[in-house]
């Protein structure tokens, strides 16, 4: 009797838990949307290719703007990073839709918390940052299929955002409205003091390292007091140089194999390490050791220049980060002279979609359309960029800094307009995602071994390639 009762209790509980956890919709979407399949190759274009004469406005705002509802919006930016202004402008169009802003941290803990919130039905619209997070959500069916809505309303992804590359199996789940530009931010006092002349409109890594050498300051003992340059602190971002060379797919060669052991990748990583060892670049290991960031190193005066993609967010806040110099901007360096620089434009980075637990789909759709178009310009306040072809790039300086006059007190306006979020510059895209997260982890781990000296660059990147190809093979 005792055994039977205990067994019954266990069985009842297991069934209850299974019933709570099962979700038919999830399964269907997950089965239909495998991240490994990749999009159609005809989506391989970029924002600069969007048709400038196409109608990209008529579909955005509903005929009936009096619809009401609540939208729970998740994005890594807080209200004072442009999101309050964005929501206020949205409410001037849709006064009856309440948007609840929820800021999540764009790190692994933050993303897992967000995924759990989506599964619990606590989110309506989510802006996913970084491709691996997007792929994880798509392959697990966390976004709903927007294809019918997109088709019914005649929305052209190409005309609006210049790409169809971030779809799955021909279905549209997200709108690729946010981007990033990598550039070099430069302390103009240090630049001028070093006698480096005009800011470059194209340069190679060798030239940037040489300029860093000239801007580096040392004390009487020869120890570096101000580093002339720095890479961005995120190790995965070292592979932006693949985007720069190929214009697509940071982890893959054209045949889908792993790109890590390409000679130009090895050469560049070796150059970066040498520049650090020479004391002209701030050490990537030091960033990692202290969880330090390039924007701190730059605003603290520890580096005279740095590769960055979000510095505008910090230097516009003159109260917290007061600087006594103007910041100039130069393009992301190229591997070789004369190459097309696919890193100089806006590269896709964030994607908005409606989640499967959405409570009020009509309100969420109205908001998603608005945020992905008119609203996306507010991403620039947080240092990111809009990829919508209707965004007025000339007006962004005033949006970020208040006015061009105010901007001129902080940045070199001409170089800012030219190299920070300029949608007319060449940019890159992704259309291969096989084992994306694994490749990200492998790259990060093995590059670190090269930086710590545990392995030579050759050894580290050859091993990483071997593991990367195995991961690709296993996932294919």
Partner 1 sequence: MNRKRENIVGYAFISPALLTFLILVAFPFLFTIFLSFTEWNFLSGWSNIKFVGLENFYDMLADNRFISGVKNTFIYTLTIVPISIIVALILAYLLNDKVYCKKALRLCFFIPYISSSVALAAVFKLLFREDGVVNTLLINVFGMSEPILWFTDKHYAKIPIILFVIWVQIGFELIIYMAALQNVPKELYEASELDGVTPWKKFWKITFPLISPTTFYLVVVQLIAVFKIFNAIDIMCFGDSAHYNTSLVVEIYKSAFNNYKFGYASAEALVLMVFIVIITIINFVGQKKWVHY
Reference 284, options 300, 299, 272, 296; nearest CA is 272
Q: Is residue 355 within the footprint of partner 1 (CB under 8 A)?
A: no
Reference 71, options 360, 350, 352, 357; nearest CA is 360
Q: Is residue 454 within the footprint of partner 1 (CB under 8 A)?
A: yes
Pick the closer one to partner 1 by CB: 137 or 369: 137
Contact segment (CB under 8 A) with partner 1 among 3-11, 42-50, 369-377, 419-427 equals 3-11
Of residues 46, 136, 160, 350, which one binds partner 1 by CB under 8 A? 136
CB of 114 to partner 1, least distance (A): 11
Q: Is residue 112 within the footprint of partner 1 (CB under 8 A)?
A: yes
Q: Is residue 438 within the footprint of partner 1 (CB under 8 A)?
A: yes
Positions 4 through 43 that interact with partner 1 (CB under 8 A): 5-6, 9-10, 13-14, 17-18, 21-23, 26-27, 30
Contact segment (CB under 8 A) with partner 1 among 44-52, 81-89, 112-120, 341-349 equals 112-120
Are 175 and 350 in contact by the 8 Å Cβ rule? The answer is no
Of residues 165, 235, 307, 411, which one binds partner 1 by CB under 8 A? 235
Q: Is residue 141 within the footprint of partner 1 (CB under 8 A)?
A: yes
Q: Report the sign of the C-alpha dihedral through residues 94, 97, 98, 102, in that order.
A: negative
Of residues 134, 142, 144, 275, which one binds partner 1 by CB under 8 A? 142
Pick the closer one to partner 1 by CB: 136 or 425: 136
Rounded distance between C-alpha atoms, residue 344 and residue 322, angstroms: 27
* DSSP conformation class of 303: B
Are 273 and 211 in contact by the 8 Å Cβ rule? The answer is no
Rounded distance between C-alpha atoms, residue 83 and residue 378, angstroms: 7
Of residues 63, 109, 324, 394, which one binds partner 1 by CB under 8 A? 109
Pick the closer one to partner 1 by CB: 1 or 66: 1
Contact segment (CB under 8 A) with partner 1 among 56-64, 139-147, 185-193, 375-383 equals 139-147
CA angle 349, 165, 106 (to 5 degrees): 25
Pick the closer one to partner 1 by CB: 213 or 288: 288
Residues 216-222: contacts with CB under 8 Å, at least 24 apart: 216/279, 216/280, 216/304, 217/304, 218/279
C-beta atoms surrounding 390 within 10 Å: 18
* DSSP conformation class of 293: -
Rounded distance between C-alpha atoms, residue 173 and residue 39, angstroms: 12
**Site residue total, partner 1 (CB under 8 A):** 45
Reference 134, options 351, 292, 459; nearest CA is 351
Of residues 103, 441, 456, 469, which one binds partner 1 by CB under 8 A? 441
Pick the closer one to partner 1 by CB: 412 or 438: 438
Contact segment (CB under 8 A) with partner 1 among 81-89, 107-115, 320-328, 330-338 equals 107-115
Element (H, E) at 274: helix 263-278
Q: Residues 6 or more apart from 270 whose CB is under 8 A from it?
A: 457
3-state SS, one letter per residue, for 166-201: CCECCECCCEEEEEECCEEEEEHHHHHHCCCCCCCC
Q: Is residue 2 within the footprint of partner 1 (CB under 8 A)?
A: yes
Q: Is residue 44 within the footprint of partner 1 (CB under 8 A)?
A: no
CB of 3 to partner 1, least distance (A): 12
CB of 172 to partner 1, least distance (A): 20
Burial class (CB in 10 A: 0-12, 13-18, 19+), 336: exposed
Pick the closer one to partner 1 by CB: 27 or 37: 27
The residue whose two tokens read 């040489």 is 210
191 φ/ψ angles, rounded to the nearest 5 degrees: -60, -50
Q: Is residue 92 within the footprint of partner 1 (CB under 8 A)?
A: no
The residue whose two tokens read 């110099």 is 325
Q: Is residue 276 within the footprint of partner 1 (CB under 8 A)?
A: no
- Binding residues for partner 1, rule: CB under 8 A, are 1-2, 5-6, 9-10, 13-14, 17-18, 21-23, 26-27, 30, 107-109, 112, 115, 119, 136-137, 139-142, 235, 283, 285-286, 288-291, 437-438, 441, 444-445, 448-449, 452, 454
């Amino acid at each position: 009797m005792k055994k039977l009762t205990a067994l019954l209790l266990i069985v009842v509980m297991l069934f209850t838990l299974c019933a709570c956890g099962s979700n038919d919709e999830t399964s269907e979407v997950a089965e239909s949307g495998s991240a490994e399949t990749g999009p159609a190759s005809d989506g391989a274009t970029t924002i600069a290719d969007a048709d400038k004469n196409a109608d990209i406005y008529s579909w955005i705002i509903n005929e009936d703007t009096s619809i009401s509802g609540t939208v729970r919006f998740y994005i890594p930016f807080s209200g004072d990073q442009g999101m309050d202004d964005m929501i206020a402008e949205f409410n001037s169009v849709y006064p009856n839709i309440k948007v609840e802003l929820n800021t999540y941290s764009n790190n692994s803990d933050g993303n897992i918390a967000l995924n759990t919130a989506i599964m619990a039905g606590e989110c309506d619209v989510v802006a996913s940052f970084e491709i691996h997070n997007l792929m994880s959500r798509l392959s697990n069916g966390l976004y709903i299929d927007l294809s019918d809505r997109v088709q019914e309303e005649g929305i052209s992804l190409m005309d609006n955002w210049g790409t169809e590359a971030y779809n799955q199996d021909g279905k549209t789940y997200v709108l690729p409205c946010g981007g990033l530009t990598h550039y070099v931010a430069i302390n103009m006092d240090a630049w001028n003091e070093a006698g480096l002349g005009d800011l470059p409109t194209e340069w190679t890594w060798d030239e940037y390292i040489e300029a860093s050498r000239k801007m580096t300051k040392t004390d009487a003992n020869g120890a570096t007091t101000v580093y002339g340059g720095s890479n961005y602190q995120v190790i995965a971002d070292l592979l932006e140089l693949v985007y720069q060379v190929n214009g697509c797919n940071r982890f893959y060669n054209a045949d889908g194999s792993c790109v890590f052991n390409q000679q130009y990748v090895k050469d560049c990583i070796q150059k970066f390490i040498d520049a650090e060892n020479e004391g002209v670049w701030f050490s990537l290991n030091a960033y990692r050791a202290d969880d330090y960031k390039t924007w701190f190193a730059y605003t603290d005066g520890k580096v005279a220049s740095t590769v960055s993609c979000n510095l505008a967010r910090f230097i516009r806040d003159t109260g917290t980060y007061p600087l006594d110099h103007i910041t100039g901007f130069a393009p992301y360096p190229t591997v070789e002279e004369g190459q097309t620089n696919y890193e100089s434009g806006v590269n896709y980075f964030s994607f908005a979609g409606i989640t499967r637990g959405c409570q009020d789909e009509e309100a969420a759709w109205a908001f998603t359309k608005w945020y992905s178009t008119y609203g996306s310009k507010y991403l620039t306040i947080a240092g990111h960029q809009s990829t919508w072809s209707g965004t007025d790039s000339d007006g962004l300086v005033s949006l970020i800094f208040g006015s061009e006059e105010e901007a001129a007190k902080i940045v070199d306006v001409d170089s800012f307009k030219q190299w920070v979020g300029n949608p007319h510059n060449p940019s890159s895209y992704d259309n291969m995602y096989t084992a994306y997260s694994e490749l990200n982890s492998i790259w990060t781990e093995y590059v670190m071994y090269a930086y710590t000296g545990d392995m030579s660059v050759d050894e580290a990147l050859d091993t990483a390639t071997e593991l990367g190809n195995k991961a690709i093979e296993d996932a294919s």
